[in-house]
């Protein structure tokens, strides 16, 4: 009986910490997005790097929103964010990258895309059983 109460208390504390962390991530992402929009307004131009950065921020917000809606965090969302981050890195530093580094980044993007396909295939082919 005591362990059950202790487990519930621990889960409640972890849930509170989780919500605080998600709130901090959301607020920080919104602030960073607003700052990026301000930079674009000040510069008077929008670059591909700016758009990719805003897309990263939107993906983070979508990931937090999905977690709040479903209580689950699909592994695919962080992988999508990693793909966009690598693409942004490639776009920004293309002139400074040697062939091997460029090949490494593009291979990483390809491997992440294959991982998304494998995860998606696994979810379709071997769906989770609903727990009651």
Instruction: Identify whether the C-beta of residue 92 lies closer than 8 Å to the C-beta of residue 49.
Output: yes
Q: How far apart are CA 111 and CA 123, in angstroms?
A: 18
Instruction: Identify whether the C-beta of residue 73 lies closer than 8 Å to the C-beta of residue 63.
Output: yes
Q: How far apart are CA 53 and CA 33, in angstroms?
A: 8
Cα 58 to chain centroid, rounded: 9
User: 98: which 2 tokens?
Assistant: 């040697």
pLDDT higher than threshold 60 for residue 132: no
Distance in Å from the first CA to the final CA of the chain: 23
pLDDT higher than threshold 90 for residue 110: yes
The residue-averaged pLDDT of 48-65 equals: 90
The residue-averaged pLDDT of 2-7 equals: 77
pLDDT higher than threshold 80 for residue 12: yes
pLDDT of residue 35: 96
Number of H helices, E strands in the chain: 4, 0
Handedness of CA 80, 81, 83, 87 (dihedral sign): positive
- Report percent pLDDT > 90 for the chain: 48
Which of 117 and 48 is assigned the larger pLDDT? 117
**What tens digit of pLDDT does each residue of 16-30 get?**
999 999 999 999 999
pTM: 0.74
**What tens digit of pLDDT does each residue of 83-92 get?**
989 998 888 8
Question: Which ranges of 44-98 does DSSP label H, i.e. alpha helix?
Answer: 48-70, 76-93
């Amino acid at each position: 009986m005591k362990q059950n109460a202790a487990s519930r208390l621990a889960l409640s504390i972890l849930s509170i910490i989780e919500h605080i962390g998600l709130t901090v991530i959301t607020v920080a992402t919104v602030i960073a997005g607003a700052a990026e929009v301000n930079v674009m307004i000040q510069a008077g131009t929008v670059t591909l790097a700016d758009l990719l950065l805003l897309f990263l921020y939107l993906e983070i917000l979508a990931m937090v929103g999905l977690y709040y809606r479903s209580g689950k965090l699909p592994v695919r969302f962080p992988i999508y964010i990693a793909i966009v981050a690598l693409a942004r890195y490639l776009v920004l530093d293309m002139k400074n990258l040697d062939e091997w580094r460029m090949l490494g980044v593009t291979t990483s993007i390809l491997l992440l895309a294959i991982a998304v396909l494998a995860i998606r295939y696994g979810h379709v082919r071997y769906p989770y059983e609903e727990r009651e």
